[in-house]
Amino acid sequence: MNRNGTGPAPAAVVSGASTGIGEACALRLDGMGWRVFAGVRRPEDGDALRAKASSRLTPVMIDVTDQGSIDSARDRIAADVGEAGLAGLVNNAGVGFGGPLEFLAIDDLRRQLEVNVVGQVAVAQAFLPLLRKNTGRIVNIGSIGGRVTTPFMGPYCASKHAMEAITDAMRMELAPWKMHVAVIEPGSIATPIWDKARATVERLDAELPAKAHQYYEPALTALSKAIDDAAKRGIPPDNVAKAVAHALTARRPKTRYLVGNDARMQALASTLLPDRMFDGLVRRIFGLPSDPPPPPADAEEAERVATAVD
């Protein structure tokens, strides 16, 4: 059956399908009778995913930062689908870096944008010829962070803001061919991303210079608690998968899908409140300090001596 329930089964590629949202999307589409090509980076992840799915699901090795890997996956999938092409592409692969921008490792920023932005465009470029064969649709997995920036998540939010722009541009560019492009904007979702976020905070604690700890230690402690709170209220990743399925199959799909009450509330507040008022609200929600921490005793002594010398 095709997207309308007749003919051969529609086919879709889902990148970043090893865990979390990508896995949920792959399994939901598989359950709907689609042929799913699930992008993973390790063979064992593909084996684990295949054990949960039907024989229609095919794991495919895809590293979105490696053009050779992308091209190899495209060629394999093209041979499988032939002239039927693809009905959908779900761009989900991504990573998350955080920390105070003042002390952010520039290589981390490059990696953030390379995976979450450049890699998504590279995958879309590779599969667009197959999508054109079937008037296929593209669904980009964004985040409420693509609308609402939060402190110490600047790199991640920047990448998701960029995907909002990429989605809008691509949707308008592909409109003459009736190829729809949508973005999904989840809030807190119960996925392994929170474990990775905790690991990032622990890495920052170990790697940030002393000056960064002096400036930001109370804020980073509050951020760690906010991560724990967000993880506890996370909703199932299948909620995102339902939105993806609608974007791929609905007669009149949306351009944006907010998923989760927290995402909807953040989007509404950011629209209604002036910037400085919204900044203050976010800082209170995160429990961030309103004043800088006092300087350490040795810094006070150094300043006293310097003043006396002057």
- Contact between 149 and 157 (Cβ < 8 Å): yes
pLDDT of residue 176: 97
30 Cβ neighbours under 8 A, 6+ residues apart: 36, 53, 54, 56, 57
Q: What is the pLDDT of residue 189?
A: 86
| Series of mean pLDDT values for 10-residue runs along the chain (310 residues) | 66 96 97 98 96 97 98 98 98 90 94 97 98 98 95 94 98 98 92 66 80 87 77 85 98 97 94 95 84 69 44
What pLDDT sits at residue 302? Answer: 45
Q: Which two tokens stand for residue 89?
A: 């592409």
257 is catalytic: no
Report pLDDT digits (tens) over 7-45: 689 999 999 999 999 999 999 999 999 999 999 999 999
In whole angstroms, give the CA distance from residue 60 to residue 81. Answer: 14
pLDDT at 306: 41
Instruction: For the sheet with 88-91, list strands across it.
Output: 58-61, 35-40, 11-14, 88-91, 137-141, 181-186, 256-259
Residue 129: per-residue pLDDT: 98
Tell me the C-alpha distance between 226 and 10, whole Å: 41
Domains of the chain: 11-296 (3.40.50.720)
* Amino acid occupying residue 18: S
> Which residue out of 156, 215, 216, 257 is catalytically annotated?
156
